[in-house]
Each structure stands twice: as C-alpha cells, then as structure tokens.
C-alpha cells in the first residue's frame, strides 16, 4: 500500500499555486503495528522542505531519496533539506539514488558552505548500476516482511533523465489457529512463537514446526514515477504490471506544435498531454497521474476561459485515454491499494 503526496507540480519555475517538482511516497504496511511509516522522496526542487512543513511527513522516517536528473527544478532543494535534517538531529543513514553529478553537486555545496551532515548517506550512482541497456535493481529491506525494489529506467531529455519503478512487496503471515486448537495447543505464547518462525517443543516432546502452522500471502504494489521525458514509449517494457504511472505533461500538443514554428525554436524535450495519454491508452494502463505543468497553465479548470488552464490539459488527455487519470496539484494525496487508486484529500491552502 502506497500513499503519494505531491509536494511540487510545476515545471521549471514555481508559481503562486505550485512549487517545483517533488513527490513523497509513503510505504505503508497495513499488517504492521509500527507507528512510524517509512517514505521515499522523488526529486527535491527548491523549497521542498518548506512544502514538507505543511504535511505530517517527518524527515526522521525518510528512508530514500531518488533524483531523476540534474536540472535545478528537480534537485536545488536537496542541500537545504539535508542540512535541516542534520540540524534536526537525524542520525539514521539515508540512501540516495541519483546521477553521479548530484554527488558532485553536494560535495561542492559542502566544500563552499561548511555544510555538515550528521548521518551517513549511502549514495548509489545510477551510472554505476548500468548493465547493458538496463540497470541493476536496488532492494531496500525495510523489515523482514516489507521490501521495496527500485528499478531505474532511462528516459529521453536534454540531460540523462530516469524513471523509478517502485515495487513494494508485503508478506502477511496468518497463523492456522483452528489447526492448533484441534491439537489442543492453546497457549497463546506458543502461538506467537510459531507465527514468527520459531519451532516449538511441547511438554510431551512433540515438535511443532512453524512452517506447518503459518501461511504467507504476498502483496505487491507497483508505481512508476518518471522524470522529464519526451518519449513515454521508453516505459513500454516496464509498464505491464504497473498500478499507477506518474508522468510529466508539461504542455498540450497544440502549444508544442506552435512552439516548433516559432522563431529561435528550442526543443526543451518534454512530453505533451496527448503523448502521455496515447501511450497510456496503448499500454492499457489503469491509472495515470499527470504533473510538471508549464507555468502558462493557470490552476483552475474552466473550459470557457480564454486563458490557458487545466481544462486544456484535461481535454487533451480525455480525448485519447479511457483509463482513470488525475491532474496533480500541490499537496494532493493519493492512495494505491490492491491495484486501485483513489484521491484522499484536496490540496492544502
């Protein structure tokens, strides 16, 4: 079970209503009694730590940061966030998956600003995980029954950019209490040992093996979060078992076509809403969340307005894609559970 909290949904620059890119992914284990929920941060644009202050998320439970590429609207907030984490007393190690240039960037900031980080950072350079045309996956063992696998997918942008495919695996152990009751094993202390994998010797020397009294059910949730990308089809091989895709839709096809014939045209290498919608439809994707919108689009959704707004994006997606889709706003929350996606709240004012 995953919860997504959008901390920034603007492309390139912040607006009055949207900060630059950042997404928090909470890794919820509904079978655990633990109060602290680990979470992942994908990208960290400037002022991400300010956005976090408006949410219940704690940097003490932040397990992993993934940076899709080196453009500033995706990483300029990283040094400040790490500094604040250190000043807040964080000691627990943090894993950081990013291009090697991000490590160089952090080293330069540390060298020039005397930035002190009080915890270990396990930096994993994306380039070092390359295996031919793919990347070696990274697995985080959060607990014995809760794992997160991270696969990296190369995208197409002006600089090397990547998508992260998160596969959460949960193991639910169920004790066969009826079977134990029939054997007249009623001591709940013995039940607890069996459930947690400990074999038990009874007073009559009978050995009860945990494996004979516990069943394990596996639950998997799959999310892809893509960085900047002008070719959604690069995700074709990864999308088949995906519950939700989060992808940029910087502008509409109409705007992209108009830009191409403008003087001094510059290809920023972003996707249009139509491109992503066409890909999602062809892939039979069930759930799509779009983000990273150009500042030219006002946040309201009003088809009758002559000003560019979210209705333009929405109409373009709806014309090509028949699945479920949402246009993310800052502080929107979504829950992925058993392959289903639902919006949990409206954005914070």
**Pairing label, strands 94-98, 62-66:** parallel
- CA–CA distance from 103 to each of 74, 80, 107 (Å)? 14, 14, 6
Catalytic residue among 43, 73, 151, 243: 73
Does 144 participate in catalysis according to the annotation? Answer: no
DSSP state for residue 192 in the 8-state scheme: H
φ and ψ at 83, to 5 degrees?
A: -65, -45
Angle between helix axes 273-282 and 310-320 (nearest 10 degrees) is 30
φ and ψ at 37, to 5 degrees?
A: -110, 115
What is the Cα–Cα distance from 141 to 149, expressed in whole angstroms? Answer: 9
What is the Cα–Cα distance from 127 to 144, expressed in whole angstroms? Answer: 29
In the numeric block, which tokens belong to residue 62?
């932040």
What region does 284 belong to: left with phi over 0, alpha with psi -120 to 50, or beta?
left
What is the Cα–Cα distance from 246 to 226, expressed in whole angstroms? Answer: 6
254-288: burial string, b at 16+ Cβ within 10 Å, e else: ebbeeeeeeeeeeebbbbbbbbbbbbbeebebebb
Which residues are identified as catalytic? Answer: 73
């Amino acid at each position: 079970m995953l919860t997504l909290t959008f901390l920034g949904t603007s492309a390139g620059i912040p607006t009055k209503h949207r900060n630059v890119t950042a997404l928090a992914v909470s890794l919820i284990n509904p079978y655990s009694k633990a109060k602290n929920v680990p979470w992942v941060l994908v990208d960290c644009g400037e002022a991400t730590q300010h956005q976090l202050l408006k949410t219940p998320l704690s940097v003490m439970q932040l397990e992993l940061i993934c940076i899709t590429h080196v453009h500033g609207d995706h990483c300029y907030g990283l040094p400040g966030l790490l500094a604040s984490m250190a000043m807040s007393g964080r000691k627990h190690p943090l894993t950081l998956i990013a291009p090697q240039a991000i490590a160089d960037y952090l080293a330069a900031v540390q060298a020039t600003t005397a930035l002190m980080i009080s915890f270990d950072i396990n930096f994993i350079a994306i380039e070092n995980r390359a295996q031919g045309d793919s990347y070696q996956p990274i697995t985080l063992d959060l607990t014995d029954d809760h794992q997160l696998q991270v696969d990296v997918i190369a995208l197409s942008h002006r600089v090397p950019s990547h998508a992260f495919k998160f596969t959460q695996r949960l193991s639910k152990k169920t004790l066969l209490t009826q079977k134990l009751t029939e054997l007249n094993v009623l001591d709940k202390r013995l039940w607890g040992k069996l459930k947690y994998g400990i074999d038990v010797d009874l007073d009559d020397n009978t050995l009860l093996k945990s494996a004979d009294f516990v069943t394990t059910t596996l639950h998997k949730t799959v999310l892809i979060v893509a960085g900047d990308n002008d070719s959604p089809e690069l995700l074709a091989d990864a999308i088949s078992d995906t519950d939700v895709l989060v992808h940029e839709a910087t502008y509409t096809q109409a705007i992209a076509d108009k830009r191409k014939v403008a003087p001094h045209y510059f290809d920023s290498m972003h996707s249009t809403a139509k491109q992503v919608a066409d890909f999602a439809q062809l892939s039979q994707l069930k759930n799509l969340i779009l983000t990273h919108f150009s500042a030219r689009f006002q946040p309201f959704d009003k088809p009758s307005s002559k000003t560019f707004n979210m209705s333009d994006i929405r109409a373009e997606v709806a014309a090509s894609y028949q699945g479920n889709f949402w246009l993310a706003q800052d502080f929107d929350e979504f829950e992925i559970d058993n392959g289903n996606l639902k919006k949990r709240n409206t954005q914070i004012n």
